[in-house]
Structure 1
Amino acid sequence: MAAFLALSPAQAAKEVFAHMIVGNLPAFTLADWQDDIRLAQASKIDAFVLNIAAKDPSTNASLDLAFEAAAALNFHLFFSFDYLAQGPWPKEAVIALLQKFAPSPAYFKHDGTRPFVSTFEGPGNAADWVDIKAATDAFFVPDWTSVPAQDAVGLAGGVVDGLFSFDAWPDGATNLTTEGDRAFQAALAGKAYMMPVSPWFFTNLPGFAGKNWIWRGDGLWETRWRQVAEVQPEFVQILTWNDYGESHYVGPVREKELELFKAANAPLNYVRGVSHDGWRKFLPFEIEVYKTGKVPEKVEEGIMAYYRPAPALACPSGGTSGNDEGHGQVEVPPEQLVEDSVFYAALLNSDQGVTVTVSIGGKEQTGGFSGTPAAGAGTPGVYTGSVPFGGNLGDVVVTVSRDGQTIAKSEGGKGISTQCENNVQNWNAVAV
């Protein structure tokens, strides 16, 4: 029997989006857009959320290519107007872009009719959206997380159709809970809630207002998808597809997308050679559970793993703090927020007879499962666990077996090393 989750009757149709920073893509070709769209489709993502800054000269050319590619591949896109990166958007410019692109079959429409629109911040311009909505019939779900949800929902006479939370990462060494999500839902009182899900956060970009901190990511991805199934929001937004500067990308890494590390005077390129492809592996399963409210009776079994490529104290910290004072948090040494461990997640029909072996540089450890599916051990779903580095260095291979027969392996990622690029710690994680 399939395991069912509680569903609100009003939530029959749900969507999963991935946030894409268009400003990272001025060198993207039509073929690049097509490749990324195909990867998103394979992961069962419904649309890219196109984050666009007000004064980026590359935006128009990028949007033309993006919509051409999406229309040809039957994929969807919608805008997130960034009000922080280069200042607020003029109201007329927002209207003009929506009037140009919303008629495209590739533009995502809420209920098939109203163009879906979001923002990155911008509550100070809330009144603009009264006229923007009147001119475009937009379905408006902004990120105004800098304002308490109970206040944001009432701005400009209640102009929003819903709200998106950008609070996707925990404060300190404690795991993220659903308390913030529930507060948004309560404040919205029936309006749509878009819930954030992210796998990691590390940034060291001195040229971008001194951004240099890490938030705890250990176990975060798996925890949030479990919480999505519990909270059952109207929409989910993955943070992000390609924000390399903050290390929470789940899309592929191309050298042509990494110019920001030079522009921001980064002490090292902490993304080059650091794949996050593993975090997409079980997205089709997680999205199906979210959308249907049930776990399939049989799953395609597999394994993924993630880990930081150096022990926390192997290299100088690079001035990185754990937490960020600018977000009202108490800063601590970053090593207090992360574990020197290899984390793994296995999608299994059952954990009966299953063993996990983690090899670091050829030295093996046997791991167990500390996390089981919501329905408990012995049922289909994602099982999670970890083993410590244990002082071992080298390539990482994680193998899941049942009764001595190999089910799957996770391997091929950057190995664990104490060699420090530019004498700076890389707090990013490898996910394979």
Structure 2
Amino acid sequence: MHRRHFLASLAVLPLAGAVPAFAAQIGVNTPFPALTVERINTLPAAQRQAWLDYLKRSEVAMAADQAALKAEREGMTTIPDGPKGGNGEATMPLDKPAEWYESVEARAVADNIVSFQTPAGGWGKNQPRNGPVRLKGQHYVANNMPPNQKPDDFDAPHLPGWGYVGTIDNDATITETRFLFKVFAATKVEAYRASALRGLQYLLNAQFPNGGWPQVWPLTGGYHDGMTLNDNAMSSVMQLMGDAGRGEGDFAAVSAELRAKTAAAETRAIQVLLDAQVIIDGKRTLWAQQYDPLTLTPTSARNYEPPALSSSESASVLTYLMKLNAPSKDIVAAVHAGAAMLEKLKIEGMVFAKTPDGQDRLLTPKDGAGPLWSRYYDMKTLKPIFGNRSKTLHDTITDVEPERRRGYSWYNNSAASALNRYAKWKESHA
């Protein structure tokens, strides 16, 4: 894998001859580059076959998922409504006493989970698991498509009616797999173990040849095919791979052969995280939330999410790396550099709060407030960068449309906990 950072083209694209809709418009967001055979064939010869095999594996899994649902619906006069959406994680607690997982309540959740597992072995997101089991012909996943989408929106589905059918977004698949291992440990019901093992194998199948993971697998096109750090997606999978690889506690049910595979998957993923740390002027900085898996170039996600350094995702990566036992010199160097950049970018004496009428959110001064970080930083200037649903990019939050100011975490303090951990960690990792 060639490590490439096209920083001049990543930050923002100038608007040639265009009249900005806002005074501070500095560019437009561009779509995720498609993962295609043609692009794979531009890689060095030694890398191509692994990626071609990966793409084929995804296509076969997608066809099998769709064929299975179609076969169930054959001859049906009425198709069951899709499952309801909602807070899925709340229905799959992972912090209950061991004896709770043998309860009727826990087993009902586990039965629901098993029934909604896709043929490929994954699960959808934002789907409560304390409801009835899946009906014949019912869709595997709840509808997660935003309303009022436009055909050219970056998150518009490439396959109508087929979104997030197997995903790691919002801890989907990761939480279901962990929950099933807990219920199996308490009940010894083989169906729960078998489903959990299929979940692990699904994640192994979904892993890119370079060690990363896409947000959705089988691949469905668009930014969902990108290597995804957003919302802790990749670090959560890596933690699961590591836990399974050690085979401790609930993961004693994992065979030695599968433990070796999951441990190796975590090792490969750590390396690609190190490779993906963005270098500016020869120095390691932070991480982006989404990457082109073929080049490790930061990319866009949704219309308003630009290729940029991401404080929240970087904090999650640093927290994960600091939990590793006996970190290598490269890991230690990556953590020191990332923490230094977060320290440099922190904002003191400001809050990102609702206006008195509750109709807006703005960055405003407040004595003693902070630290705070912008969600995104331009990779050329290291200044905050913001986006609109219309794909325009801006250098100030006041030029973002009010709906996006209210509905997105443009500023947050999630990096504070990572720096607090770092203050202790650095004492023994000079």
* TM-score, normalised by the number of residues in structure 1: 0.31
* TM-score, normalised by the number of residues in structure 2: 0.31
Which has the larger share of helix? 2
Which has the larger share of strand? 1
